[in-house]
Amino acid sequence: MLDFSLSNKETDIIEKYRDFTERWFKPNALKYDKLAEFPWEVVKAAYDEKIMNGPMPEKFGGNGFSLYEGALASEEMGAGCIGIGICIDASTLALTPLFLAANEKQQKKWFGRIVEDKGVAAYCLTEPNAGSDVAGIKSAAIKHGDKYILNGHKRFITNAEVSSFMTVFALTEPDRGARSLTAFVVPSDAPGIEIKPRLQKMGQKASVQNELIFTDVEIPAENKLGEEGHGFLIAMKTFDRTRTGVAALSVGGARSAYEVSRDWAKKRIQFGQPIASQQGVAFMLADMATDVEVARLITHKAAWAYDTQQKGFSLLSAMSKLRASDIAMKVATDAVQVMAGDGYSTDFGIEKIMRDVKLCQIYEGTNQVQRVVISKAILK
């Protein structure tokens, strides 16, 4: 029989992350939204309380979460503050190529380094001329003896300026294009890396992004992840895992927007009664509650499909990111509408959720790109 109940371990994960986000995310959400600074104090506390590096193996200091367990954790982080949550989840994104393709020695070294630093990593795929079209990457890492020499230009790289190291995708044989795309680990303080000023942006302001210029950066050959030419596959396999994380953050953001606006509507009196007793408002709240359930269900199904390696898990991963982030955008927009002036003001953090969830429709492949992935799969 189909069973949606939670195990003790899953309940503990939710409670642990909810407790942490109540103490560290929610009280700091508006502060970091204003400051637009990386929330180091929260990340350090997250290390102290074993919140960081959820999916990383336990033997290397992570939590060894399945994707489903990671989704439970990410929903709580999204409900607390998507901007702070993505500082943690973007590091997980950067560690995923190591998780998928690194050998034992590399995992020991780099997972060990991130835990020792109580730090974060950055995932470097996007370039000025290669956004949705990953095959357009031009950065090149050319082999010279026991080193690769990296030259190129990346942009929109989350955590770049605060990272301990980066996972960088570059061509080893530019003539062969994306067929030679290869993944490397590069320490962020390696000579030849120029980190440009931080991106100014609409939402998720606690998280920082930079453009990067690589000029003759030396990468020891032992920092190559997997084989030369396997980079495209590693990047796509990474997204198969991490898109459910974006979906789960979106569910959390939607849940918060719904709950805050529901509670507000129960208290706000107009025409002599709570605004929630007006059917026009109550029906909006009913749709929001239903949509949050829908978003969570598809996210959990995608995570389960990955964990149990069901056929089509990749398709479900794209569907979960698409639907959950679209729902989050709609729910957050409706929450602003329910709360009207108070929703639009910065006092309740609802307009912030609306700005934050917008980005979930854009990164890790825009929602148009998810539709490209889904339509190709269902029409082939």
Ligand X SMILES: Cc1cc2nc3c(=O)[nH]c(=O)nc-3n(C[C@H](O)[C@H](O)[C@H](O)COP(=O)(O)OP(=O)(O)OC[C@H]3O[C@@H](n4cnc5c(N)ncnc54)[C@H](O)[C@@H]3O)c2cc1C
Q: Which residues are annotated as catalytic?
A: 364
Residue 132 or residue 215: which is nearer to ligand X going by CB?
132
Minimum CB distance to ligand X, residue 43 (Å): 16
Among residues 179 and 201, whose Cβ is nearest to ligand X?
201
CB 50, min distance to ligand X, A: 24
Q: 85 is written with which tokens?
A: 């949550």
- Taking the C-alpha atoms of residue 74 and residue 295, their distance in angstroms, rounded to an integer, is 13
d(CA 333, CA 323): 15
Residue 270 CB, nearest distance to ligand X (Å)?
A: 38
Using the minimum distance from each CB to ligand X, give the nearer residue, 63 or 163.
Answer: 163
Are β-strands 273-274 and 163-171 bridged in parallel, bridged antiparallel, or unpaired? Answer: unpaired
In whole angstroms, give the CA distance from residue 280 to residue 274.
12
Greatest Cα-to-Cα distance within the chain, rounded to the nearest angstrom: 80
CA distance to 5, 90, 183, 185, 210, per residue, from 115 (Å): 33, 15, 21, 16, 23
Contact footprint for ligand X (CB under 6 A): 90, 123-126, 131-132, 156-158, 201, 209, 359, 362-366, 368-369, 372
Encoded amino acid at 371, one letter: R
Spatial separation of the C-alpha atoms in residues 295 and 22, rounded to whole Å = 22
Cβ–Cβ under 8 Å, residues 196 and 212: yes
State both tokens at 59: 């033997």
Q: Name which of 103 and 132 has its Cβ closer to ligand X.
A: 132
Closest contact distance (angstroms) between CB of 365 and ligand X is 6
Residues 6+ apart with CB under 8 A from 203: 33, 82, 83, 352, 354, 355, 356, 357, 358, 359
Q: Is 179 exposed, middle or buried (0-12, 13-18, 19+ CB in 10 A)?
A: middle
Task: Please identify, using beta-carbon distances, which residue of 178 and 282 lies nearer to ligand X.
Answer: 178
Closest-by-Cβ residue to ligand X is: 131
C-beta separation of 331 from 291 below 8 A: yes
Q: Which candidate, 253, 206, 267, places its Cα nearest to that of 351?
A: 253
DSSP designation for 204: -
Provide the minimum distance between the beta carbon of 282 and ligand X in the complex, in angstroms, as a whole number: 35
**How far apart are the C-alpha atoms of 72 and 15, rounded to whole Å?**
10
Decide whether 338 or 359 has the Cβ nearer to ligand X. Answer: 359
* Residue of 376, 350, 368, 372 lying closest to 82 (CA atoms): 350
> Closest separation between CB of residue 196 and ligand X, Å?
14
Query: Judged by CB, which is closer to ligand X: 290, or 368?
Result: 368
